[in-house]
Amino acid sequence: MDPSTSAPKKKPMTIITIGMAGAGKSTFVQRINSHLHARSPPSPPYILNLDPAVTHLPFEANIDIRDTVNYQEVMKQYNLGPNGGILTALNLFTTKFDQVLTLVEKRAETVDYVILDTPGQIEIFTWSASGAIITDAVASSLPTVVAYIIDTPRTTAPATFMSNMLYACSILYKTKLPFILVFNKTDVQPHEFALEWMHDFEAFQAALASHNGTRDAEGEPTYMNSLMNSMSLVLDEFYQHLKAVGVSSVTGDGIDEFFTAVEASREEYETLYLPDLERARAIREKTLQDAKADVKEDSMSRFMKDLTLDRASNPDAALLDKWEQEEDEDEVGADAELDVDIRDSTEHRWPGQYIDITRARRHADENINWPRPG
């Protein structure tokens, strides 16, 4: 088959891994990295590490924030704590993220996946300006999906499960990107109970009612119990359009199902997210053009206002106005007199002599009397 007639290569899919501290994000990235290397043919991903405080990575990152920003030095120079140091390091790295994006786009023809490993402190990436800038920059260039990593053994309690779901819901509506729930560590705790709670709110309510601490001393449901019951009904619509898979970063179980969900998210990105992105970009460009036009009009208005004020503050302005008015009246009179001369000259033309109209116009202001027939 002629390569020139083959279909163009799809853009690589970007996977942004987000999750609570200890959920196993880095181990999960290491597992999908090994999985892609073991494919036939191998398909090595392009990996970005955005955690400046990590001491050891179980994978080799193509771009590592630690090569650019020294987390410990940032803490010393800015007198910050651990979380403040991570946030500041990420902010400093974000100022040069356009260069990072250029490097990623250069490799777009040779890789199928771009993977971002985010800091363990989830709020630093999800709720900071730098996290939003990085997410928007990547999503505007490449198809992107958010993989929310959940520590499955720690979600067996209904309250913890509901907290994770609320956090996932908030991240989904903040990023507006395709979203996959990844229940990690299924080798320790199977995730079927979580899927049942997501698709059958009565099962969740039954588990909530049987859990210790959901009733007070008088046997009445506690406030938290009532709140979680209500939230399970509210999140029912959220669950209906959500992809969820269970994986084990240790054994590799469920990784194929994860990549199936990733490929399904590509279509969701192209049909739902990309049109919204283009509309938002068009609105932003129009707003920018309107703002430039408003600034130009405002500048011209201020210039004319300043010109008027300068003229009003000039003591000779009245005299100048009088002179300009007299000059205008003289020009009007000269034009009228010239018109009469031209009409007269055409009426009293005689052989061998005529009036040069061009010269008459040029010398009208000098009150030259052209010869007329005697």
User: What confidence score (pLDDT) does residue 332 get?
Assistant: 52
Residue 228 counted as domain residue: yes
Q: Could you read off the pLDDT tens digit of each residue along the chain, which spans 374 residues?
A: 444 455 667 889 999 999 998 899 999 999 999 999 999 889 999 999 999 999 899 999 999 999 999 999 999 999 999 999 999 999 999 999 999 999 999 999 999 999 999 998 888 899 899 999 999 999 988 999 999 999 999 999 988 999 899 999 999 989 889 999 999 999 999 999 999 999 888 898 888 888 765 555 555 567 777 788 888 888 888 888 889 999 999 999 999 999 999 999 998 898 888 888 778 777 877 887 777 787 877 777 777 776 665 555 555 555 556 656 666 665 555 544 444 443 444 344 444 444 444 454 555 545 445 455 44
Query: Residue 364 falls within a domain, yes or no?
Result: no
pLDDT, residue 312, reads: 59
For residue 243, the enclosing domain spans: 13-281
Flag whether 312 is in a domain: no
Angle at 321 between CA 315 and CA 323, to 5 degrees: 110
- pLDDT on residue 257: 96
Assigned domain for 335 exists: no
Give all strands of the β-sheet with 13-19 in edge-to-edge order: 63-64, 46-49, 113-117, 13-19, 144-151, 179-184, 243-246
Cβ-contact 184, 150 below 8 angstroms: yes
Does residue 143 fall inside a structural domain? yes
pLDDT at residue 90 in the model: 94
Please indicate, yes or no, if residue 350 is contained in any of the structural domains: no
User: What SS3 class is residue 309?
Assistant: helix
Q: Quick check: is 252 in a domain?
A: yes
Whichever domain contains 255, its CATH number is 3.40.50.300
Q: Which residues pair with 245 in a beta bridge?
A: 182
DSSP string computed for 315-340: TTHHHHHHHHHHHHHHHHHHHHHHHH
pLDDT at position 309, please? 59
Number of folded domains in the chain? 1
